[in-house]
Amino acid sequence: GQQVMQIPQYQHVQEGEDFTTYCNSSTTLSNIQWYKQRPGGHPVFLIQLVKSGEVKKQKRLTFQFGEAKKNSSLHITATQTTDVGTYFCAVVTGFQKLVFGTGTRLLVSP
């Protein structure tokens, strides 16, 4: 079945440093979604990307969809302690179901 790999699995940064997580698929994707799960919480939708090469920004977060629509990235500029959590990408398979990536756990030290 569809597999979606995310790297890194874990990253620990100092507050103010930048952070990037990457999502990779072996197949071409129709779209990709990103979710954030705070420790002890549940996944919360952040954004959906649909177009090849698309770039979207939400304050300090920048989301990008690759030109070949096989990969995506989430970049956080100047991290804050409130950014702590696990970031998941999710893709729709041909069976019309959402498959979640392995997630990147971000820890931010003050």
Partner 1 sequence: ETGVTQTPRHLVMGMTNKKSLKCEQHLGHNAMYWYKQSAKKPLELMFVYNFKEQTENNSVPSRFSPECPNSSHLFLHLHTLQPEDSALYLCASSHGTSGSDEQFFGPGTRLTVL
Q: Where are the beta strands (DSSP E) in the chain?
A: 4-7, 10-14, 19-25, 32-37, 43-49, 55-58, 61-65, 71-76, 85-92, 98-100, 104-109
Nearer to partner 1, 4 or 108 (CB): 4
Nearer to partner 1, 43 or 66 (CB): 43
Distance CA 42, CA 1 (A): 25
Nearer to partner 1, 62 or 102 (CB): 102
- Where on the chain is the footprint of partner 1 (CB under 8 A)? 4, 30-31, 33, 41-45, 48, 88, 92-93, 95-103
CB 79 to partner 1: min, Å: 23
